[in-house]
Structure 1
Amino acid sequence: MDAAVTTSQRLASGKGHRDENFPVASLLIKADYRPPIMAFYRFARAADDIADHPSASAEEKLALLARMRSGLDGAGAAEAMALRDAMAAHGIDPVHAHDLLDAFVRDVTVTRYADWDDLIGYCRLSAMPVGRFVLDVHGEDRALWPANDALCAALQIVNHLQDCGKDYRMLDRVYIPLDTGLDIAELKGDRASAALRAIIAGLARRTRDLLDQSEAFSARIRDRRLAAEVAVIHRLARSLTHRLEQRDPLSERVHHGKAEALFLAAGAALPVLLRWPV
């Protein structure tokens, strides 16, 4: 086993697709489409683990991410080569994978964001390509990309707001835009001040605007089962955004429990699944 493989395995978090806040290739997705989506997920998970490892050096991370990119083009990381083969088999543009790698490189090299537009620029690389890849797997119209992009950006920002304290303490990474007036040192605390709570709630409201922009996304998707999954994701994001407007992510639980996530998912998926005949 070469040193790069050993190092990459050492940096692995052990996190899997069932540990994510939002569904990944759930049983709602047709069986034929799940393998390429899971290949993309495993690629993204491996790269994310590299970028987010708390003790690896920046140089080590960038070298491993470069090996991920090499695997997309030829010989390199196993997860990247598996994704390359899946993309070739389904005729999918590799730009989505390359954009995602650009985001992970940015995670290593950029730790602060100036304003909302700067944050959305990051989401353009870190989140939007994921949804675009899934749409391409299903052969959906690229006219759906703006709605996809709004939803995916919302999901990314929800995750950032939920994890704002942990990201700062473990990685010195701050996704809350600095023009909000944020006192970064407050992210180390066990409880948010009134000022920090107001900043988080304000960003949650802006995230709600993104969800409003993607409200009709599910109804425009041709594949009924993908439409149901998107409806579920949208419903979960709405719920989490509302919680972030009301709760302190430094001291209160924001994530859904399994039972409540299942309840919300069923309420979102069933109307979509019943909309068309089987």
Structure 2
Amino acid sequence: MTPASDLRSGKTHKDENFPVASWIIHPRHRALILAFYNFVRTADDIADHAVLDAPAKLALLDELEANLLGQGDAQREGVVLRAALAERGMPPRHAQDVLIAFRMDVNRRRYGNWDELIHYCSYSAMPVGRFMLDVHGESKATWPASDALCAALQINNHLQDCGEDYRELDRVYIPDDTLARFGATHADLKQTKATPALLSCIRELADKTDALLRESDLLAVQVADIRLGCEISVIDTYAREILKLLKVRDPLSERVHLSKMELVGYGLSSLFGGLWRRATGSAALSRSTPGT
């Protein structure tokens, strides 16, 4: 079977909307995080491949999973992640969960409502946050806030790329009932400029994503690892700034991604702000906890 690495899009961890194994994270965790990222990115690129048909995509995803589980060594990304997880005594659960989302991408192109979209996010995004928390030995009590943040990041990405996803992959992540409520259609996504109806859909989803970010508001101070808390602060800031753009701009005709300078500026300010908020927020959480 074709090596999965030959099918990569060329996108790396440096091209994401959020930091991946950045210098903020302790060096002892970076190799494992990058092994997980490369596995996930490879699987994502397979699911999005322009030439492969559905059976070939699913066969490659199955082989990646088999290699992850120790059943063969054909796909390097599965073998490397398997070894990295074994070294830390961690199970492959989160990587397997993400593969479910990529199989959904191969087989499904539409979502009926918000709940169906969140169900997709429960496999496409939430396992990534849970993996990061497990790498750092964090409590599962942090999972709900992490799930909300990861879902928000995923939906931001769907809204940013809604036109490209439809034109190139025939995928629509804006729920059908949202489109119908505002009188928008899939054809609106092919335009060079969003219709008022489509913009209304995007604004409504942006508001719902804003609510997800409010659910994740305390995550940066809930985690015990200071470095991870700082990284979460940076990711949270990026998510909020992207959401601001989505609330006032048209993703079909205007820039709704952060520039490199904006990433640096927001990153540094949120890093120092996160340290301050962590110190004051942790104290507030401690005072509000019974028995402390």
TM range, normalised to the smaller chain? over 0.9
1:68 is matched with 64
1:271 is displaced (CA, Å) by 2.8
- Which segments of 5 or more consecutive residues in structure 1 lack a partner in the other structure? none
The alignment-based identity, stated in percent, is 51
Q: Are 1:191 and 2:175 an aligned pair?
A: no
Aligned with 1:12 (options 5, 8, 18): 8
Contact 2:69 2:92 in 1 (8 A): no
Residue equivalent to 1:81: 79
Q: TM-score, structure 2 length as denominator? A: 0.91
* Offset of residue 112 of structure 1: 0.3
Shift of 1:273: 3.4
Deviations 1:91-140 (A, max 9, x none): 22211011000110000000000000000000000000001001000001
Quick check: 1:146 aligned with 2:144? yes
Q: In structure 2, how many angstroms separate the alpha carbons of the residues matched to 1:238 and 1:48? A: 24
CA distance in 2, matches of 1:17, 1:9: 15
> 2:39 is matched with which residue?
43
Inter-partner Cα distance in structure 2 for 1:212 and 1:26: 25
Which residue identity does 2:163 align to in structure 1?
A: G
The range that moved more, 175-184 or 87-96, is 87-96
Q: CA separation in 2, counterparts of 1:152 and 1:189?
A: 29
Instruction: Say whether the 8 Å CA contact 1:11–1:49 is kept in structure 2.
Output: yes
Instruction: Note if contact 1:224-1:272 (Cα within 8 Å) is conserved in structure 2.
Output: no
Report what 1:212 is aligned to: 214
Which residue matches 2:290?
none
Alignment of 1:128-143 (within 5 A): 128-143=126-141
* TM-score, normalization by structure 1: 0.95
SS in 2 for 1:33: helix
The aligned amino acid for 2:152 is A
Q: Distance in 2 between matches of 1:124 and 1:91?
A: 24
Q: 2:49 aligns with which of 46, 49, 53?
A: 53
1:237 is matched with which residue: 230, 236, 239? 239
Instruction: Indicate conservation of the 8 Å contact 1:147/1:217, yes or no.
Output: yes
**Aligned-pair CA distance for 1:242:** 1.2
Structure 2 equivalent of residue 164 of structure 1:
162
**Over aligned residues, Cα RMSD in angstroms?**
1.1
Q: Determine the C-alpha separation between the residues in 2 that align with 1:117 and 1:55.
A: 31
Q: Which residue of 1 aligns with 2:286?
A: none
Q: 112, 131, 135: which one pairs with 2:110?
A: 112
SS in 1 for 2:110: coil
Gaps of 5+ in 2: 280-292
* CA–CA distance in structure 1, aligned partners of residues 125 and 77 of structure 2: 19
For the pair 1:127 / 2:125, whether they are aligned, the reply is yes
1:249 alignment partner, one of 251, 276, 284: 251
| Number of positions where the alignment pairs a residue of Structure 1 with one of Structure 2 | 272
State the shift of 1:9 in Å.
3.6
Q: Are the aligned partners of 2:97 and 2:127 in contact in 1 as well (CA < 8 Å)? A: yes
Do the aligned partners of 1:191 and 1:250 also contact (CA within 8 Å) in 2? yes
Residue identity in the other structure for 1:237? A
Partner residue of 1:269?
271
Letter of the structure 2 residue corresponding to residue 187 of structure 1: L
Shift of the alpha carbon at 1:272?
2.9
Q: SS state of the match for residue 271, structure 2?
A: helix
Residue aligning to 1:203 = 205
2:224 to 211, 222, 225: 222
1:240-261 CA-to-partner distances (Å, cap 9, x unmatched) read 1111111100000000001111
CA positional deviation for 1:186: 0.8
Partner Cα distance (2:238, 2:43) in 1 = 25
Q: Distance in 1 between matches of 2:17 and 2:241?
A: 12
Counterpart amino acid of 2:119?
A: G
